[in-house]
Amino acid sequence: MARSSCPLANRRVVVGYTQEGLAEALGVDRTTIGRWERGEQQPQPWQRPDLALKLGVTLEELDGLLRHPGPELPVGPGAVGLGS
């Protein structure tokens, strides 16, 4: 299976969950897991301890998994900047 660029998705796969399986274990919708993995939303503070437990990580490690890189910005000649 190809690895994702998302550490949260990678960890989910390593521990054997599908998005649907993890969602069911946490009592959330599968689309919620996808939004967390894409960095569109973050788990609520009260969801984090159970999520960490299911993924077999500490809360501090979970914080690291949730740091999702933003979209890459264009650089170099021709790139449109904020001041353009």
Percentages (nearest 5) of helix, strand, coil residues in the chain? 50, 0, 50
pLDDT greater than 80 at residue 2: no
pTM greater than the 0.85 cutoff: no
pLDDT greater than 90 at residue 45: yes
pLDDT score for 69: 53
Nearest Cα neighbor of 50 from 78, 28, 72, 30 is 28
63: confidence class by pLDDT, cuts 50, 70, 90? very high
- Give the CATH superfamily of 7-66: lambda repressor-like DNA-binding domains (1.10.260.40)
